[in-house]
């Protein structure tokens, strides 16, 4: 741990941070920011120095030791599990005989979901603390010889504060589903054009015609046996690409015990056997689709399990937003709309900083054009699309 000012400390693992005080700053803004989630990542061995994610979180305290501000921070030795791709930047460093790693990262590991990145007490403000935190992080970067600091998927409040810094802004696109007060799934489909509505209904019918049914389990209802099966399927999604899943089985065991109220698992069954599953996390007014796996391929099963079951859940429980994960243009014709995500980057080397800034400016124009074209693929009737554009 490094103390860089009388109040700000850098280098703490979650086990050294008081859970109650951390969660008081989080204030329920995201399940992925909770002490329980971040601690489970570390204590399960999913996130540690050996996996290229060394926790070195930032906290600011008053004289009594109470938290005033905090920020997740990791020393990264690679760029896996981030979903904001900077491999090209790392390659450029290597070509010029310089080291891109280690770098510093403020993000939630393996979680491309927007949420606050700077946590502050009710009596404090992000605008007040961000300059101090940034100064401390840059001093720490000098100490460990880090090339850069990256803040990924900040929410609108964090973005507003970051916009007043000299960090480089990068933009990208995701696809989110919004609940517009639907009374049922059919009510949602009624906003589609006739042809696209028939296509989606046929997808759902085709899944049922294969003899597949679904079991929906809230956190606390998931047995160890079901967790074992789901974890095997989760690993399958990586193994077919010759990779290993980022998360250990112990991670799921820990979140099942520490944050069951945030979990929702959909298991697909065929002939009374589980064949696939998707794990969702619940926030205050959002649902997040996070992990999926299957025993074997079934036609259109992924769409039903990961998307339509989640939409049904949001409608039934009056949840406003469904974030089903990064990427995926196939979400467009299923009613997921393009949204802009942002990241912010401090690059120590002036020459690389200028080149990366120029790249991000050019990329921004491409992202805007991509989103415009993506909106043309949405399935909604013209009248509904016009209404949405006016909101």
Whether 265 maps to a domain, the answer reads yes
pLDDT of 219 strictly over 80? yes
Q: What is the per-residue pLDDT for 243?
A: 85
**CATH value at residue 105:** 3.40.630.30
Provide φ and ψ at 314, rounded to 5°: -65, -40
**Where among 319, 347, 363 does a domain terminate?**
319
Q: What is the per-residue pLDDT for 240?
A: 82
What's the domain range around 6? 2-172+339-375
Per the structure, the count of domains in the chain is 2
Say if residue 168 is in the same domain as residue 185: no
Q: What is the per-residue pLDDT for 185?
A: 98
Say if residue 7 is in the same domain as residue 136: yes
Q: What is the per-residue pLDDT for 260?
A: 98
CA distance 116 to 331: 25
Say if residue 167 is in the same domain as residue 197: no
Whether 214 maps to a domain, the answer reads yes
C-alpha separations of 348 from 135, 210, 226, 391 in Å: 13, 56, 47, 41
CA distance 78 to 211: 43
114 and 341 Cβ atoms separated by less than 8 Å:
yes
Whether 390 maps to a domain, the answer reads no
CA distance 153 to 341: 6
pLDDT of 178 strictly over 80? yes
Ramachandran sector of residue 119 (left: φ over 0; alpha: ψ -120 to 50; beta: rest) = beta
Say if residue 230 is in the same domain as residue 270: yes
Confidence of residue 391 (pLDDT cuts 50, 70, 90): very low
Percent of residues, the chain, with pLDDT higher than 90: 92
Confidence of residue 2 (pLDDT cuts 50, 70, 90): low
Q: What is the per-residue pLDDT for 388?
A: 54
Q: What is the per-residue pLDDT for 386?
A: 43
Mean pLDDT of the chain: 95
Whether 381 maps to a domain, the answer reads no
Q: Determine whether 24 is exposed, middle or buried from the number of CB atoms within 10 Å of its CB (0-12, 13-18, 19+).
A: middle
Q: What is the per-residue pLDDT for 337?
A: 97
Say if residue 279 is in the same domain as residue 347: no
Confidence of residue 1 (pLDDT cuts 50, 70, 90): low
Give per-residue pLDDT as tens, 277-321: 999 999 999 999 999 999 988 999 999 999 999 999 999 999 999
Say if residue 305 is in the same domain as residue 260: yes
Give per-residue pLDDT as tens, 52-62: 999 999 999 99
- The strands making up 148-152's β-sheet, listed across from edge to edge, are 53-55, 74-76, 103-106, 148-152, 337-347, 168-178, 321-323, 286-294, 273-282, 263-270, 212-218
Say if residue 107 is in the same domain as residue 7: yes
pTM higher than the cut 0.85:
yes
Whether 90 maps to a domain, the answer reads yes
Whether 107 maps to a domain, the answer reads yes
Say if residue 35 is in the same domain as residue 98: yes
Say if residue 231 is in the same domain as residue 343: no
Question: What's the average model confidence in pLDDT over 54-83?
Answer: 96
Of 14-18, 54-58, 212-216, 238-242, least confident by mean pLDDT is 238-242
Q: Which of 147, 167, 168 is nearest to 94 (CA)?
A: 147
Whether 388 maps to a domain, the answer reads no
Say if residue 248 is in the same domain as residue 286: yes
Whether 84 maps to a domain, the answer reads yes
CA distance 390 to 74: 41
Say if residue 213 is in the same domain as residue 257: yes
Say if residue 185 is in the same domain as residue 250: yes
CA distance 316 to 182: 9
């Amino acid at each position: 741990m490094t103390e860089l000012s009388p109040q700000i400390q850098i280098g703490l693992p979650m086990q050294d941070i008081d859970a109650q005080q951390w969660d008081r700053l989080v204030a329920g803004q995201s399940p992925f920011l909770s002490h329980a989630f971040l601690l489970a990542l570390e204590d399960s061995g999913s996130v540690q120095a050996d996996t290229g994610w060394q926790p070195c979180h930032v906290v600011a305290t008053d004289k009594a030791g109470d938290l005033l501000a905090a920020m997740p921070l990791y020393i990264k030795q690679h760029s896996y599990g981030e979903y904001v791709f900077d491999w090209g930047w790392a390659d450029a460093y290597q070509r010029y005989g310089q080291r891109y790693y280690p770098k510093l990262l403020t993000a939630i590991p393996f979680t491309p979901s927007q949420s606050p990145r700077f946590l502050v007490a009710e009596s404090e403000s992000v605008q007040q603390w961000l300059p101090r935190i940034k100064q401390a992080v840059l001093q720490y970067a000098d100490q460990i010889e880090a090339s850069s600091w990256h803040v990924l998927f900040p929410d609108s409040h964090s973005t507003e504060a970051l916009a007043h810094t000299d960090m480089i802004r990068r933009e990208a696109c995701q696809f989110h589903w919004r609940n517009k007060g639907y009374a049922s799934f059919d009510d949602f489909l009624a906003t589609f054009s006739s042809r696209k509505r028939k296509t989606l209904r046929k997808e759902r019918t085709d899944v049922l015609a294969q003899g597949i049914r679904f079991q929906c389990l809230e956190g606390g209802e998931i047995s160890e046996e079901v967790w074992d099966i789901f974890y095997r399927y989760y690993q399958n999604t990586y193994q077919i690409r010759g990779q290993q899943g980022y998360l250990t089985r112990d991670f799921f065991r820990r979140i099942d015990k520490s944050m069951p109220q945030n979990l929702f698992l959909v298991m697909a069954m065929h002939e009374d056997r589980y064949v696939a599953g998707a794990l969702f996390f619940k926030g205050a007014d959002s649902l997040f689709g996070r992990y999926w796996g299957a025993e074997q391929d079934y036609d259109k099963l992924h769409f039903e399990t990961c998307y339509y079951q989640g939409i049904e859940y949001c409608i039934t429980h009056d949840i406003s937003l469904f974030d089903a994960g990064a990427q995926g243009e196939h979400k467009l014709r299923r009613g997921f709309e393009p949204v802009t995500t942002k990241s912010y980057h401090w690059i120590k080397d002036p020459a690389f900083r200028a080149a990366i800034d120029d790249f991000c400016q050019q990329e921004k124009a491409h992202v805007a054009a991509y989103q415009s074209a993506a909106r043309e693929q949405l399935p909604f009737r013209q009248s509904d699309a016009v209404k949405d554009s006016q909101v």
